[in-house]
Amino acid sequence: MFKLLINISVFCVLLSNYSFALQRVVGANSSSNLVGSAELAAMANNDALTKDILSLNRNPLVLLSAKDSWLGMGHNALFEGSHLHLLAENIPLKEQSFGFSVARFGTDGIIWSPEGEEIPVTMPTKTMSAVDWNMTLAWARTFCDEKLDVGANVHLLWRNLDQSGLGFSGDLAARWKFNDDLAILAQLQNFFSSLTVWRSGYKEFSPPEAKIGLVWGKNISYLYGNLRLGWQSADILHRRNQEYYWSDYLVLDSLAQAPQSGKTLWNSPLSWIKASALGAELQWKWGGSIRLGLMSFESIEAWSLGMGMQISSKMKLDYAYQNHPVLNNLHRVSLALKLWENPKVEHDEDTVLDDEREEFPESGRVFWED
């Protein structure tokens, strides 16, 4: 017993020394959680609503929404010439599912010149790229007669800026279905902290963060389809320091002087609620969908919209437009192809992806499965 206590003490000392060498930052490895799904972006990044496998880097429970294996591809034109390209695939089993995704986020064609040389006046010949490569491994399983869904993912990141770096993080998610129409989602991001190690030896990390979400859906017969509504909370554990009043920030000399909103639930419940997001989707029985979203009640200019089309039983196409009050507007396109059907599950006629289906079933089960 004494030897065990000695070992534990030594381990704690080493761990404390290592932790002091880390620099706490906001958003370490944040590109691992970037939105690459047009479906998700159109609904204001509402993780509780999405069923697209391109969202498995944010919510691993999307793996349970597909009975069959799908290959998703996403192209996202972001701010100032930056792009996000994402590829994802799910491997479904009977009560659980696995998936992985690979993403490239970065900017190409950045002009540079070696230190000590003058910047050329004519057309530059030397350019560089600032790139993040992300790989995500995800798992999800259903429990309690399909009432409880649990999932986890792990992110690995390789960054190549002015110097290279490695990073890793992981997320947990759980969803409880009260009935076929209503469910609550809980997410814990960076559950073992998000760590980045640079080539210079500099280390930084971001602490865990939590969110919750609600989703409600109903078959609307006079609209010939399903209506789904979702609410996504702001961060619970820490203040959302990325929330600023844009009009004030633009005339300030530094970001630190900007009045900050989006406080934690404990300090200002009203401000926390105002920083939450809303999303909606109307899905018609013929395969089309229209989606709307509001990123925050504090900034009604940050809205999004999109549409989706079930081209065939083996192909889906989605588009999203996101309006931003200051930065460039965003356009996203996603394509999904069915690779193979899962022989371990039954394929009934009441499936959203079945071309021969004439009407939606009375059960809200379509809100959780494609």
| CATH classification of the domain holding 32 | 2.40.160.40
Say whether pLDDT at 266 is over 80.
no
Q: Provide the domain count of the chain.
A: 1
What pLDDT digit, counting tens, does each position of 214-248 carry? Answer: 999 988 887 788 999 999 998 888 765 444 333 33
In a domain, 263, yes or no: no
Asked if the structure places residue 245 within a domain, the reply is no
Give the pLDDT of residue 347: 62
Domain carrying residue 43 = 26-106+130-233+276-367
Residue 350, Cβ density class (10 Å: 0-12 exposed, 13-18 middle, ≥19 buried): middle
Does 177 reside within a domain? Answer: yes
pLDDT digits (tens, 9 = 90+) for 338-367: 998 877 666 654 444 333 333 444 434 444
- The C-alpha angle 38, 210, 205, rounded to 5 degrees, equals 95
Task: Tell which wins on pLDDT, 38 or 351.
Answer: 38
Rounded mean pLDDT of 193-199? 76
Q: Are 290 and 364 in contact (CB under 8 A)?
A: no
Q: Give the CA angle between residues 146, 42, 25 to the nearest 5°.
A: 85
Give the three-state DSSP class for 278.
Answer: strand
Tell me what the mean pLDDT of segment 19-43 comes to. Answer: 76
Question: Quick check: is 353 in a domain?
Answer: yes
**With 80 as the cut, is the pLDDT of residue 327 above it?**
no
Confidence of residue 291 (pLDDT cuts 50, 70, 90): very high
Nearest Cα to Cα of residue 57 among 132, 143, 160, 161: 132
3-state secondary structure of 200: coil
Residue with the larger pLDDT of the pair 3 and 116: 116
Query: Which residue type occupies 244?
Result: Y
Record the pTM. Answer: 0.79
Residue 20 domain-assigned (yes or no): no
- Report yes or no on 120 lying in a domain: no
Tell me the per-residue pLDDT of 45-85, one tens digit each, with 9 for 90 and over.
999 899 999 999 999 999 998 888 999 999 988 877 788 99
Answer whether residue 258 is part of any domain: no
Lowest mean pLDDT among 119-128, 189-198, 251-260: 251-260
What pLDDT sits at residue 141?
Answer: 95
Residue 244 lies in a domain: no
